[in-house]
Amino acid sequence: MLNIKENISLKPFNTFGIEAYGTYFVEINSIDDFLLLLKTDIYINNLKLIIGGGSNILFTKDFNGLVIKNNLKGIELINETTDEVIIKAAAGENWHEFVQWSIKNNFCGLENLSLIPGCVGASPMQNIGAYGVEIKDVFYELEAIHTITGEKKTFKKDDCAFGYRESVFKTKYKNQFLITSVSFKLSKHQNLNTSYGAINTELEAMGINKPTVKDVSKAVINIRQSKLPDPKITGNAGSFFKNAEVSKEKYESLKSQFEEIVSYSLPNGNFKLAAGWLIEQCGLKGFEKNGAAVHAKQALVLINKNNCTGTAVFELSDYVLQKVFDKFGVILEREVNII
Ligand code: FAD
Ligand code: EPU
């Protein structure tokens, strides 16, 4: 049964905790719900915004259209060999709960992605990543429905053009598909990835020298909780900007001026710069304006410190962009979806 509501506050539906109103709002609990919705006048005649957990969205104004909250549920084992399983999770499943489910079943591959907020359906949108793993590393396929024709389509990994915080769903197919499920290929063996330095340090601090999949998850959770704000307490959407990619020449010129610059070399010869470091060097850690602030423990994260507006967060992000450009000549790119 479709229940299209009118003039709904979107504050509970975005982790920034920003007040904004949606002209129409509907939750879909089945694929049939969505196919039914496609035929309604409200759907046909309005702008649409699909949301999961609202943890990568900044509302800078009311949304004059139809907000569709994806609530599709279910986790299914669809294939199993001696070494691997394919697990299909519906788009509305909570990401972290799904990761914990896979760990409980001793399936390996998602543990480094513990505690990322949001839903499974959004995970391919920006190819979520953390602590040395991106979902492209374990992605098998996804199912989606075209938002105009209602046609069902399966996307294999090669169809998704996954990159750093990128996919085809943010570019060529922007707003064209509702993702209904994502399938992952997980290992039945303990193929752990602890290459990200902080994980090993944390495991050591936990007194663990032969980690299990559960230990790695716990280490990642501990690291995250030590620096990232909990959206239930402080509104935020994780990293507001992407780390910046620069050419070798630009990197070398910066390195000669700023010896301590935090960087990683990339396979294409370019360098990735830790944007959090750039922002911190501009003296902006903890900087606050109109209730929006740069998080004091992680400068890449902007927070709703004091019941601010989305515009205040956006203006702060402009200010940060300008300061980083003035000091380093590096243009940061926003990671969060601005509405
Ligand atoms: P939403 O914010 O609801 O939507 C994000 C985008 O996806 C929107 O454009 C929306 O239209 C679209 N979308 C959502 N669901 C669907 C669907 N079913 N079909 C089609 N389009 C859809 N991200 C990382 O990559 N790594 C991290 O380590 C990380 N850490 C974070 C930490 C914190 C504290 C927070 C608040 C956020 C963090 N994020 C991180 C960002 C965010 O959690 C992820 O991007 C997450 O995948 C967003 O999921 P969501 O369901 O909340 O998406
Ligand atoms: N740093 C600083 N000051 C800061 C923040 C970072 O100097 O205020 C430096 C530190 O040297 C640190 C390095 O930057 O060692 C990297 O910091 P961190 O490990 O916290 O990771 P990040 O590059 O800031 C990225 C992702 C996160 C992800 C973590 C862990 C992006 C945009 N962000 O952050 O993802 O959880 O790595 O892998 O790539 C998100 O996308 O929302 C997100 C939180």
Domain C-terminal end among 178, 197, 227: 227
Alpha-carbon torsion 18, 165, 115, 8, what sign?
Answer: positive
- Measured in Å, residue 239 CA sits from the centre of ligand 1 at 11
- Measured in Å, residue 210 CA sits from the centre of ligand 2 at 26
Residue 1 has pLDDT above 90, yes or no: no
**What mean pLDDT do residues 223-248 have?**
97
Residues 121 and 100: their CA atoms lie apart, in Å, by 17
Question: Which of the four pLDDT bands, split at 50, 70 and 90, describes residue 14?
Answer: very high
Question: Which of the four pLDDT bands, split at 50, 70 and 90, describes residue 55?
Answer: very high
Number of structural domains (the chain) is 3
Residue 334 has pLDDT above 80, yes or no: yes
Widest Cα–Cα separation across the chain: 63
Residue 249 has pLDDT above 80, yes or no: yes
Q: What is the residue with the minimal CA distance to atom 23 of ligand 1?
A: 128
pLDDT digits (tens, 9 = 90+) for 291-317: 999 999 999 999 999 999 999 999 999
Question: Which of the four pLDDT bands, split at 50, 70 and 90, describes residue 245?
Answer: very high
- 184 with 98, same domain: the answer is yes
- 93 with 156, same domain: the answer is yes
- Measured in Å, residue 276 CA sits from the centre of ligand 2 at 6
Q: Which helix (H) or strand (E) holds 146?
A: strand 139-146
Task: Give 258's contacts (C-beta < 8 A, 6+ positions apart).
Answer: 281, 328
One-letter amino acid of 219: A
pLDDT digits (tens, 9 = 90+) for 153-196: 999 999 999 999 999 999 999 999 999 999 999 999 999 999 88
Best mutation site among 51, 56, 98 for ligand 1 pocket (most ligand atoms within 8 Å of CB): 56
- How is residue 210 annotated by DSSP? S
Mean pLDDT, the chain, rounded, equals: 97
- 165 with 206, same domain: the answer is yes
Best mutation site among 242, 300, 302 for ligand 2 pocket (most ligand atoms within 8 Å of CB): 300
Question: Which of the four pLDDT bands, split at 50, 70 and 90, describes residue 336?
Answer: very high
What's the pLDDT score for residue 282?
98
- Whether the CB of 55 sits within 6 Å of ligand 1: yes
Domain C-terminal end among 49, 70, 91: 70
- Whether the CB of 52 sits within 6 Å of ligand 1: yes
What's the pLDDT score for residue 195?
83
**What mean pLDDT do residues 50-63 have?**
98
**What mean pLDDT do residues 146-151 have?**
96
Domain C-terminal end among 227, 253, 276: 227
Catalytically annotated residues: 165, 239, 335
Rg (CA), the chain: 21
- 54 with 120, same domain: the answer is no
Beta carbons within 10 angstroms of residue 241's beta carbon:
23
- 148 with 215, same domain: the answer is yes
**What mean pLDDT do residues 134-154 have?**
97
Residue 18, domain CATH: 3.30.43.10
- 202 with 100, same domain: the answer is yes
**What mean pLDDT do residues 206-233 have?**
96
Q: Where in the sequence is the domain holding 274, given as residue range(s)?
A: 235-338
- 181 with 103, same domain: the answer is yes
Question: Which of the four pLDDT bands, split at 50, 70 and 90, describes residue 197?
Answer: confident
Give CA angle at 64 (60, 68), nearest 5°. 95
Phi first, then psi, for residue 207 (nearest 5°) are 75, 30
- 156 with 131, same domain: the answer is yes
What's the pLDDT score for residue 74?
98
pLDDT digits (tens, 9 = 90+) for 80-122: 999 999 999 999 999 999 999 999 999 999 999 999 999 999 9
**What mean pLDDT do residues 245-253 have?**
97
- 194 with 65, same domain: the answer is no
Q: What is the residue with the minimal CA distance to atom 5 of ligand 2?
A: 276
Q: What is the pTM assigned to this prediction? A: 0.97
- 281 with 181, same domain: the answer is no
Residue 99: closest CA among 214, 219, 18: 214
- From the CA of 240, give the closest atom in ligand 2: 42
Ligand nearest to the CA of 114: 1
- 239 with 297, same domain: the answer is yes
- 119 with 16, same domain: the answer is no
Residue 307, domain CATH: 3.90.78.10
